[in-house]
Structure 1
Amino acid sequence: MPDSTLSSRTVLVTGATSGIGYETARQLAERGVTVLLHGRTADEAHAAADRLVATAGIDAARLCAFAADFAHLHEVEAMADRVIAEHPLLDVLVNNAAMAAPERHTVTADGNEIAFQVNFLAHYLLTCLLEPALTSDPGGRVVNVSSTLHRTASIQWSDPNRARRYSRLAAYAQSQLALTVFAADPRVTAVSVHPGVCDTTLLPLYAHEGVTPAEGAAHVIRLCDPAVEIVNGAYYDRSERVDPAPAATEERTVKRLNKLADLLVGRSAA
Structure 2
Amino acid sequence: MSSASLSGRTVLITGATSGIGYEAARFLAERGATVLVHGRTPGEARAATGRLAATAGIGAGQLCPFSADFARLDEVEHLAHRVVTEHPHLDVLVNNAGMAAPERHTITSDGNEIAFQVNFLAHYLLTGLLETALTAGPGGRVVNVSSSLHRTASIQWNDPNRSRRYSRLAAYAQSQLALTVFASDPRVTAVSVHPGVCDTALLSLYGDEGASAAQGAAHVVRLCDPATEIVNGAYYDCDERVEPAAAATEDRTVKRLSKLADLLVGNTLAT
TM-score normalized with structure 2 length: 0.97
Name structure 2 gaps, 5 residues minimum.
none
Q: Secondary structure at the match of 1:107?
A: coil
1:146 paired with 2:121, answer no
TM-score normalized with structure 1 length: 0.97
Aligned to 1:219: 219
Hey, what's the Cα distance between the residues in 2 that align with 1:145 and 1:241? 14
Alignment CA distance shift 1:139-1:4 (3 Å):
farther
Q: Secondary structure at the match of 1:188?
A: coil
Residue 53 of structure 1, CA deviation: 1.2
**Structure 2 contact 125–269 (Cα < 8 Å) conserved:** no
Aligned to 2:236: 236
Q: Secondary structure at the match of 1:66?
A: strand
Residue 8 of structure 1, CA deviation: 1.1
Name structure 1 gaps, 5 residues minimum.
none
Aligned to 1:169: 169
1:205 paired with 2:205, answer yes
Task: Give the alignment's Cα RMSD to 1 decimal.
Answer: 1.3
Alignment CA distance shift 1:112-1:142 (3 Å):
same
Alignment CA distance shift 1:19-1:159 (3 Å):
same
Alignment CA distance shift 1:227-1:138 (3 Å):
farther
Q: Secondary structure at the match of 1:119?
A: helix
Aligned to 2:34: 34
Task: List 4+ stretches of structure 1 deviating above 4 A.
Answer: 2-5
Percent of matched pairs sharing the same residue: 78
Q: Secondary structure at the match of 2:132?
A: coil
Provide the aligned length of Structure 1 versus Structure 2. 269
Hey, what's the Cα distance between the residues in 1 that align with 2:148 and 2:7? 31
Hey, what's the Cα distance between the residues in 1 that align with 2:116 and 2:56? 34
Hey, what's the Cα distance between the residues in 1 that align with 2:45 and 2:268? 31
Aligned to 1:196: 196
Output aligned runs, 1:44-123, within 5 Å: 44-123=44-123
Residue 139 of structure 1, CA deviation: 2.9
**Structure 1 contact 5–225 (Cα < 8 Å) conserved:** no
Q: Secondary structure at the match of 1:88?
A: coil
Hey, what's the Cα distance between the residues in 1 that align with 2:205 and 2:195? 14
Residue 140 of structure 1, CA deviation: 1.6
